[in-house]
Amino acid sequence: MSGSDVCSTNIVDQQKVDFVAGALPTEAENMAMAELFKALGDPTRLRIVQALALEELCVCDLTALMDISISAISHQLRLLRNLKVVKFRKSGKMAYYSLDDDHVLELVTLTREHIAEQ
């Protein structure tokens, strides 16, 4: 491989390599992070998360907003719930969804800001 975007010599700074190797997430943490990014990489799921960042919504609201079936919304919500991205509460016959915590909101907000800067 040649070009100006790679080192022209092969000198490893072992101290830096050791530091970074010790600070990186474990394989299990990396897999969990990848699963979360994969889930948020789906446009429908991302839109659901963005909607829930604005307002707690019931399944019927999400169905109308996304213009997809209740079964399709339920499938997406189940996946997001399993990843602890969203949570739900029952109120009578209604099931309301919201973000599980502010971390996902921060992640989506930072991503949107990053895209806007490009």
Beta strands in 5-117 (DSSP E): 57-58, 86-91, 94-99
* Residue 2: per-residue pLDDT: 56
Better pLDDT: 98 or 8? 98
User: What residue segments make up the domains of the chain, in order of their start?
Assistant: 14-117
Give 29-83 pLDDT, tens digit per residue: 999 999 999 999 999 999 999 999 999 999 999 999 999 999 999 999 999 999 9
- Which of the following CATH numbers is that of domain 14-117: 1.10.357.10, 3.40.50.10490, 3.50.50.100, 1.10.10.10? 1.10.10.10
Better pLDDT: 44 or 5? 44
**101/98 Cα distance (integer angstroms):** 9
* Residue 118: per-residue pLDDT: 86
Give 73-104 pLDDT, tens digit per residue: 999 999 999 999 999 999 999 999 999 999 99
